[in-house]
């Protein structure tokens, strides 16, 4: 098992890091390349990021790979992205499994291409008992659809209004069993949440950077972690 990076450098580290990896398109456009080249560099960087994160005592990483709103992009970009994601799962699943990483998925699986659905289900099943990092892929995910789906399931299960607490509600979200997000990182010079983990980021710390996702490296991650470790979280208390 990989030697863990000493956490001495940081006062405390987040347990759950969520990333909005933005800026793939601009990264490619600046080079005069097609946007899909940027997405390719982006998925390669996701692989790199998993290696980095796995060196820290951080237990959960959620990556926003495709949002419920990304369907609004040209069909060629959408299908190109799905092909890339399928390719990356095929290439790295064995390695992920060997590194004892557990893969999870959040989002609406049923509207994705069948092959991609199969690959995700297979990856989740294969790695379900792994105990190192939990790599949670948000694919066809939206925070609002997630809440709507939770309400539908609560009603289907006949849960009585008086029994609906924050705790029971959380169990109906896609993220059931995963802890709230401690640190949310967004690259690509945009300072918005874009329908990502609306419920789970209620008390998260945010880190925004101008760095475009394909260029985001370990030093940028360290910068985010250092900034997090210097903050005092009060959760509304004193």
Q: Which stretch binds ligand IPE (CB under 6 A): 21-29, 87-95, 99-107, 225-233?
A: 21-29
Options 15, 70, 100, 130, the catalytic residue: 70
Beta carbon nearer to Mg ion, 22 or 146:
22
Min dist. Cβ of residue 222 to ligand IPE (A): 22
Residue 66 binds which of ligand IPE, Mg ion, none (CB < 5-8 A, kind-dependent):
ligand IPE
Using CA atoms, how far apart are residues 137 and 117, in angstroms rounded to an integer?
12
70 given a catalytic annotation: yes
22 given a catalytic annotation: yes
* Interface map 146-185 toward ligand IPE (x if CB under 6 A): ----------------------------------------
* Interface map 46-75 toward ligand IPE (x if CB under 6 A): --------------------x---x-----
- Identified binder of ligand IPE from the candidate list 14, 17, 18, 22, rule CB under 6 A: 22
Q: Is 22 an interacting residue with respect to Mg ion (CB under 5 A)?
A: yes
What is the size of the binding site for ligand IPE (CB under 6 A)? 11
Q: What does the H/E/C string look like for the chain?
A: CCCCCCHHHCCCCCCEEEEECCCHHHHHHCCCCCHHHHHHHHHHHHHHHHHHHCCCCCCEEEEEEEECCHHHCCHHHHHHHHHHHHHHHHHHHHHHHHCCCEEEEECCHHHCCHHHHHHHHHHHHHHCCCCCCEEEEEEEECHHHHHHHHHHHHHHCCCCHHHCCHHHHHHCCCCCCCCCCCEEEECCCCCCCCCCCCCCCCCCEEEECCCCHHHCCHHHHHHHHHHHHCCCCCCCCC
Q: Is 14 an interacting residue with respect to ligand IPE (CB under 6 A)?
A: no
Active-site residue list: 22, 70
Binding interface with ligand IPE (CB under 6 A): 21-26, 42, 66, 70, 81, 188
């Amino acid at each position: 098992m990989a030697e863990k990076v000493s956490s001495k450098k940081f006062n405390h580290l987040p347990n759950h890091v969520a990333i909005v990896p933005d800026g793939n398109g601009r990264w490619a456009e600046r080079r005069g390349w097609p946007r899909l080249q940027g997405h390719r560099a982006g998925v390669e960087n996701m692989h790199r990021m998993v290696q980095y994160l796995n060196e820290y005592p951080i237990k959960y990483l959620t990556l926003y790979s495709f949002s419920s709103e990304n369907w609004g992009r040209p069909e060629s970009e959408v299908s190109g992205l799905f092909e890339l994601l399928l390719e990356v799962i095929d290439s790295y699943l064995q390695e992920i499994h060997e590194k004892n990483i557990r893969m999870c998925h959040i989002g609406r699986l049923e509207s994705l291409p069948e092959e991609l659905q199969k690959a995700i289900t297979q990856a989740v099943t294969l790695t379900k008992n792994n105990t190192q990092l939990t790599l949670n892929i948000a694919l066809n995910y939206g925070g609002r659809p997630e809440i709507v789906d939770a309400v539908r399931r609560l009603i289907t299960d006949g849960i009585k209004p008086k029994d609906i607490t924050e705790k029971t509600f959380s169990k109906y979200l896609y993220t059931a069993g995963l802890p709230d997000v401690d640190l949310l990182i967004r690259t690509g010079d945009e300072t918005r949440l874009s329908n990502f983990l609306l419920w789970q980021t209620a008390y998260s710390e945010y880190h925004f950077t101008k760095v475009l996702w394909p260029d985001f490296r370990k030093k940028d991650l360290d910068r985010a972690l250092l900034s997090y470790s210097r903050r005092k979280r009060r959760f509304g208390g004193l």
